[in-house]
Chain A
Amino acid sequence: MSVATDTQIDHPLTIAGRTFRSRLMVGTGKYADNDTMVMALDASGAEVVTVAVRRVDLDRSKEASLLHYLDPERYFLLPNTAGCYTADDAIRYARLGREAGMSDFVKLEVIGDQQTLLPDVDGLLEAARTLCQEGFTVLAYTNDDLVTALRLEDAGCAAVMPLASPIGSGLGLLNPYNIRTIKSRLQVPVIVDAGVGTASDACVTMEQGVDGILMNTALAEARSPVLMARAMRWAVEAGRAAYLSGRMPRREVAVPSTPVEGMLD
């Protein structure tokens, strides 16, 4: 097989034996309205979409639920445990999410600090161990810390989701080295979750070799979520292709692209 065709081959993203058509996962929070969300989801090409578990508003029970807008034939719903600050809370939300949804997948978050929304690693590991034992397919949102990522993998997590930068910050990929290190050491898929702000962030993140990206605010808070969703779709595909292509080495000197021979006297 030629190198040219060899580099075009990519395996689809597979988590716990389930294959997904896109490496881009998107959230459903913070959109101005559900119609905009539906169009942005469509433009993103994403299959996995995250949702949250919250109380039904008893005074507004007649309004169409979120599920009304998400075609179950097209989207794979991934319930999260956002807003949980203890392992017990996260486990409770995970169980409710499994009951409300159609799978045992959960995006596990245990938050340790209100200001930064950075994870509580102890709580995260405790919840991950319990949920994995209960048969959940756990995708764990975590710091860009190798040791924690390894422990989450050991706990049985089906994917590890280190942050690019804090949730909703849009600061982009702050530590590419950490993300590359995590990717190089884990067997399970590494999905970068949180912090991507614009398409170049997504592209650079995918160029580190990770298996996918999950984002929400970058789309929902763009002036045009639909256009940004399209940009993110391209960026994820471009970054993935660039990673697979094997980039040229960085050099501290210029090397001419044009022959130096044949110049006129």
Chain B
Amino acid sequence: MQAMINGESRKLPDGVTLLGVLSHLGLDPRAVVVEHNRVIVRRDGLDRVTVQNGDTIELVHFVGGG
């Protein structure tokens, strides 16, 4: 299964949840905000959303800015 994560096509295991994606990428769920197909998914809901083929996921955090 393929999903677009931060603009890159990534191969993911079938049936993976958003929480599983973060763990797959080595990311701490407390350190990122997840947007799934343009909808923000809160931390406590990450294990309830299953990624489908062709989904778009954005993983963002704070960086320096003015």
Contact = CB atoms under 8 A, between A and B. Distances in A.
B11 interface: no
B64 A27 contact: yes
Residue among B7, B26, B63 having the largest count of chain A Cβ atoms under 10 Å: B63
Interface string A204-245: 000000000011110000000000000000000000000000
B32 A56 contact: yes
B61 interface: yes
B46 to A, nearest CB: 12
Nearest to B41: A99
B25 A50 contact: no
Contacts of B58: 55, 96
Nearest to A57: B6
A53 B42 contact: no
Interface string A185-221: 0000000001000000000000000000011110000
B3 interface: no
Contact of A96 (B6, B7, B8, B40): B40
A29 B64 CA distance: 4
Given A67-B31, A96-B33, A99-B33, A77 B61 contact: no
A31 B26 contact: no
Nearest to A77: B62
Nearest to B6: A55
A95 B38 CA distance: 11
Interface in B27-66: 27, 31-33, 35, 38, 40, 42, 58-66
Contact of B64 (A37, A100, A194): A37
Interface stretch (A6-14, A16-24, A58-66, A124-132): A58-66
B42 A99 contact: yes
A194 B65 CA distance: 12
A74 interface: no
A53 B66 contact: no
Interface in B6-25: 6-8, 25
A61 B65 contact: no
Contacts of A176: none
A61 B7 contact: no
A3 to B, nearest CB: 39
Given A61-B27, A65-B31, A96-B33, A53 B62 contact: yes
Given A61-B26, A99-B42, A51 B6 contact: no
A151 interface: no
B27 A56 contact: yes
A173 to B, nearest CB: 17
17 contacts: A27-B66, A28-B64, A29-B63, A51-B64, A52-B62, A53-B63, A55-B6, A55-B60, A58-B8, A67-B31, A96-B58, A99-B40, A100-B60, A101-B62, A167-B66, A194-B66, A215-B66
Given A51-B64, A53-B33, 9 more contacts: A37-B64, A52-B63, A54-B60, A56-B61, A58-B25, A95-B40, A96-B40, A97-B62, A99-B42
Closest 6 CB pairs of A and B: A52-B65, A27-B66, A216-B66, A28-B64, A51-B62, A29-B64
